[in-house]
Structure formats: C-alpha cells, structure tokens
Amino acid sequence: MSMDARGQLGKTLVFLGWKGIKSARSYVVPANPRSTGQVAQRGLLSAAVALYHSVAKVAADIAALNLAASLQSMPMSGFNWFCKQYIALIATADAVTVVYGQSVIENESGGFKMHVHVPIATNCLMRHGQNPRVLGAWELMQRTPDTQDFSGTVIDAVIGDYTYCEVSIQDPAGTVAISGIYKVLSLE
C-alpha cells in the first residue's frame, strides 16, 4: 500500500488526503435526486446564476455584494449571497432584477450624489447610514429622463468617513431588486 494513495480501489475503497491528513473511506455512489422539488430548486439556482452573469457590474457593484454577504452570520461570497437573495425573493415576487452600474459624483462638503442603473422603469429608493447594519429610512431617488438611471443625494455624510447605501425599488408589477450595500467615502 502506498502512503500517498489517491482515488478509488475497485469501487470498494477511496483514498484521499485533506490538509496533509491521509485517510481511506468506503466507496459511496453519489446521490443525484431528481425529485420535482430538487429539479425546481436547481432551476431557481440556474436562473440566479444566469441573472448574475447577465448584468454588466462595475467594481463597486461587486464590492457592494461582498459587503452585504460579509454581514451574514455564515461566511459567503457576494455571488453566493446574490443567489441566496434571488431564491428567497423569487418565491414572493413575480420577477427579480438587479441594481448595478453604481457611480458617485459631486462628492464634496459632506455630501454626494450616487447613480445606479435599474433595468426596469419603476420608482427607485435609497437608504443610507454610517453603519452598514443600521441604515435610515427609504428616500425616493430621482430618475434621469428617458433612461433607467437613478440618482440619490446624501447631504449629511461625515467628511472623511464612509457612508453605506442600499437601493430598492417600488414596482406595482411585482418585480423586486437585489442591491448590495455600497460604501462611499465622503470628501471635503
């Protein structure tokens, strides 16, 4: 027997190593349930992955998803958090969309204007605060005419400190949006 064996032996034993620990276990045929519920769940996950990859995210959008994920009790990536949000939201909504394309302009004197893109025509809301876990009340964002771009103004930011912003939508058609938590440094 080898002290560094890997793989299966006659469909009876499997040799493996993990973090320098060598071990062997019995061979088990992997299960692949194809129940109605399992197929439906796999379909939801496939739709979440497709939506994530279909959106032209900028670095700030990915950072926002990662920040939202870091606030969860279980460690996960922004991608995993996005998929989890999608599956939870699609159960209660007709459709799910994504907030993306975040940019900041007019960042001066303790205030800034944040722009985002929402791929449906609707009302867009933003809330913000100095702590990503404690954000204020929802405020209506202004829509740029003839586009799906929205901007929200923060006037009470602390100069030299971070302000955290989250975006949501109001859509009578039953669509909900996934937004990470954006982190903006206020400048003088």
pLDDT tens for 2-57 read 567 777 788 888 888 877 788 888 888 878 888 999 999 999 999 999 999 999 99
Q: Which domains does the chain have, with CATH numbers?
A: 8-54 (no CATH), 57-185 (2.60.40.10)
Asked whether the predicted pLDDT for residue 188 surpasses 90, the reply is: no
Look up residue 187 and give its two tokens.
Answer: 């400048």
pLDDT at 10: 83
pLDDT at 156: 86
Measured over the CA atoms of residue 44, residue 45, residue 46 and residue 51, the dihedral's sign is: positive
Helix (H) or strand (E) holding 90: helix 78-90
116 phi and psi angles, rounded to 5 deg? -140, 165
**What is the number of residues in the chain?**
188
Name the DSSP letter for residue 174: S
Look up residue 52 and give its two tokens.
Answer: 């994530």
Return the SS3 of 98: strand
pLDDT at 120: 84
Return the SS3 of 6: coil
State which amino acid sits at residue 19: K
pLDDT at 19: 73
Across the range 87-112, mean pLDDT stands at 90
| Choice between 17 and 95, residue whose per-residue pLDDT is larger | 95
pLDDT at 28: 86
pLDDT at 1: 52
pLDDT at 115: 94
Closest by Cα among 62, 95, 57 to 79: 62
Pair 24, 15: CB distance under 8 Å? yes
User: What's the distance, Cα to Cα, between the start and end of the chain in Å?
Assistant: 69
Across the range 49-78, mean pLDDT stands at 95
Closest by Cα among 82, 171, 154, 165 to 119: 171
CA distance 13 to 133: 49
The burial of 172, by beta-carbon neighbours within 10 Å (0-12 exposed, 13-18 middle, 19 or more buried), is given as exposed
Q: List pLDDT tens digits, range 125-183.
A: 999 999 999 999 999 999 998 889 999 999 988 888 999 999 999 888 889 999 999 99
- Residue-by-residue DSSP string for 117-166: E-SSSSEEEEEEESBTTB----EEPEEPTTSSEEEEEE--PPTTSEEEEE
